[in-house]
Homo-oligomer: A and B are copies of this chain.
Amino acid sequence: MESIEYIEKLSTSSKKASLALRTLPSKQKNDFLRDLAANLRKAEETLLEENQKDLITGKENQLSSALLDRLELNPVRIEKLAASVEEIANLPDPVGEIIRGNLLPNGVRLLTQRVPLGVVLVIYESRPNVTIDVGALSFKSGNACILRGGKEAIHSNLALANIFRQTLRETGLPEDALHLVEKTDRSLIIPLLQQDKYIDLVVPRGGEGLIRFVSENSRIAVVKHDKGVCNLYVDESADPKKVTDIVVNSKTHRPGVCNALENLVIHKDYPHKSELLKTLQEKGVELYLDQELLQVCPSGEEADESQYETEYLDLRLAAKQVDDLTGAIAFIQTYSSGHTEAILAENQSTIETFIGSLDSAALFVNCSTRFHDGGEFGLGAEVGISTGKLHVRGPMGLVHLTTTSTILYGNGQIRA
């Protein structure tokens, strides 16, 4: 019961703060963000101390080195965090943008403008920089936010949230514009997901389990940031000079992220199958191959079906040979998570058939899957990559933290 009261207080105070934020002029918002960046730099010592507590607990709990790395703050990362807040200050303000307008036949002037959503809830894991990134993006778009980070990063997250709230106080803004949920037991998530009266959007970022849990229990509208089982098809018409670079870049440039390649599909008549697989192995990639590809690359392991459904986030890759384009499309339709698919081919009609047959957030032709990113798309900072189809699909930017409101200016008109 105590925790329900805590959640209700959190939600109502966020809603109240959001009313003050929604009409805040851009200049005031940008000034706040620059102050926040300065305060982050000033607080380096405290941040490192608090982060150290999380790292020690993490080591005691035997977190993997990859997880410890995601958790770590250091002077370079703190500077990056401050710089990214300044970058958000420099982005155009989406609030107030008129996205549609016309004079209706009856003389009423109609304007549809972007307005803030209100209160945004983001549930995420390990990386403490999300606390500041999402806080700054929500603030810039005129929203209050409630952040529920992982237990393993609680000291770092609290320190960051404190700096954010302190900066709000210093600049005369309501500190409840950002809340970090201090109690990280999972039992608090369900009552949070029932606050649809006060919270307008929930963004779960994390593993499949978390996302399923949120979708099943939320009364609030959800924008999912789910896994990316990215597929890349090498057609017989592909230009071998491009193939190796693109496949290696897609898989090895940053294997731990959602736009990294997971399944490689190769046309049986692509002449350089063996070299391609060998190059991947030389780059340290472990290969899971079907019977046909094992014949050209016997040092690979045999793939089983479940491997084509797996997001490795690691230097591991499943590969499959197909007889033709139809086979490639059927394979991708079966295993795709709707995130990212790519084709390497020079035959234009093959490319267009591939694009017309597949339905994913982004489709890549003769370039790396690693370009599936808000920054690369030219959208600026992003909340993440939405794998749902409603509201936003693909990179979720500032604009997607807004909704619309339509104003109709009349002069006495009534409906006949």
Interface residues of A (CB under 8 A from B): 22-23, 102, 104, 108, 110, 115, 117-118, 196, 200-201, 215-216, 219, 221-223, 239, 241-242, 245-246, 249-250, 253, 355-357, 359-368, 370-371, 376-378, 388-391, 393-394, 403-415
Partner of A221, one of B23, B222, B245, B378: B222
Whether B117 contacts A409 by the Cβ 8 Å rule is no
Closest B residue to A221 by CB, please name it. B390
Whether B411 contacts A104 by the Cβ 8 Å rule is no
**Residues of chain B lying within 8 A (CB to CB) of residue A393:** 403-405
Whether B359 contacts A414 by the Cβ 8 Å rule is no
Please state the number of chain copies in the assembly.
2
Partner of A110, one of B370, B377, B411: B377
Whether A365 contacts B405 by the Cβ 8 Å rule is no
Central interface residue in A108, A118, A215, A367, by most chain B CB within 10 Å: A367
Partner of A362, one of B200, B201, B246, B405: B405
Partner of A359, one of B22, B241, B253, B378: B22
Whether B359 contacts A118 by the Cβ 8 Å rule is yes
Whether B409 contacts A371 by the Cβ 8 Å rule is no
**Residues of chain B lying within 8 A (CB to CB) of residue A378:** 102, 104, 110
Tell me the minimal C-beta distance from A384 to chain B in angstroms: 15
Closest B residue to A400 by CB, please name it. B390
- What 10 A-B pairs have minimum CB-CB distances, sorted nearest first? A367-B410, A249-B414, A389-B403, A370-B415, A242-B412, A367-B413, A221-B390, A391-B391, A390-B391, A368-B414
Whether A405 contacts B363 by the Cβ 8 Å rule is yes
Whether A405 contacts B23 by the Cβ 8 Å rule is no
